[in-house]
Amino acid sequence: MGVIVLADIVDLLNLNLARVQNLISIYGPPRQGRRSVQETDVLRAALVMLHASMEDFLRSLLKWRVPALGAKELIDTYPLPGSGHKQARNFLLGSLVAHKGKTVDQLIEAAAKEYLDEYASFNDLGEVKRALTNCGLNGAAVENHGYGELPAMIARRHKIVHHADRNEVQGGQGNHRTASIGTRELNNYVAAVQSLRDFVQAQLG
């Protein structure tokens, strides 16, 4: 596993945000009238990509910070890498044979990476704040640093992924069966993730 540094984590997020902004640009500038669901689906794809970019950013921060901080209570929740378990369990000494040659630091890093890559997700603002706290940051303070539309972005991504963005409020034909979405909404969500990035950089940079 290579050495992780904050600059690399931020660079990857910025690359992913550029991909999101490219999707928004494909949609094109605003125009009069409501566009078809098929046209606006590119914005839904951009929103899902944006949420994935935020999650990847938070996972990367955790993989970097948790082993470095050595927080016993948190590391205790990670199962032995390669065990196939979602939750930490007691293991016999022989289970370490598969990890011969690794240092304790390497084993902790591997456990954190495997668990976070496989199971960590961030489906509400509380989970985002908890991740920041586990990174040694003041997670609660993110609310005072422009987190803005993060809760709405997370909720909208859930609606798109799990309900195909169905409009549950308004009936009718055609477009009205699907919730509307526009570039202003997407740009607000991008700005919220950028604010999260800036918040982390200000505390760790």
Instruction: Kindly report, residue by residue over 151-180, the tens digit of the pLDDT.
Output: 999 999 999 999 999 987 755 555 578 999
Look at residue 99 in the predicted model and tell me its pLDDT: 84
Please check the confidence at residue 100 and state whether its pLDDT lies above 90.
no
Give the Cα separation of 40 and 161 in Å (integer): 15
Higher per-residue confidence, 85 vs 150: 150
Is 50 exceeded by the pLDDT of residue 1?
no
pTM above 0.75, yes or no: yes
**Whole-Å CA distances, 31 to 23, 71, 126:** 17, 52, 37
Which one has a higher pLDDT value, 90 or 134? Answer: 134
Q: What is the pLDDT of residue 142?
A: 76
In the predicted model, is pLDDT for residue 146 greater than 70?
A: no
Domain ranges of the chain: 6-69+123-204
Using a CB cutoff of 8 Å and minimum separation of 24, what contacts does 135-139 make? 135/61, 135/62, 135/64, 135/65, 135/66, 135/69, 135/200, 135/204, 136/65, 136/69, 137/200, 137/203, 137/204, 138/203
pLDDT exceeds 50 at position 92 = yes
pLDDT of residue 48: 98
* 143 and 188 Cβ atoms separated by less than 8 Å: no
Q: What percent of the chain has pLDDT over 90?
A: 58
Gap between the terminal Cα atoms of the chain = 22
Please name the residue ranges forming H helices in 1-92: 6-27, 37-69, 72-75
Least confident stretch, 67-76, 180-189, 194-203? 67-76
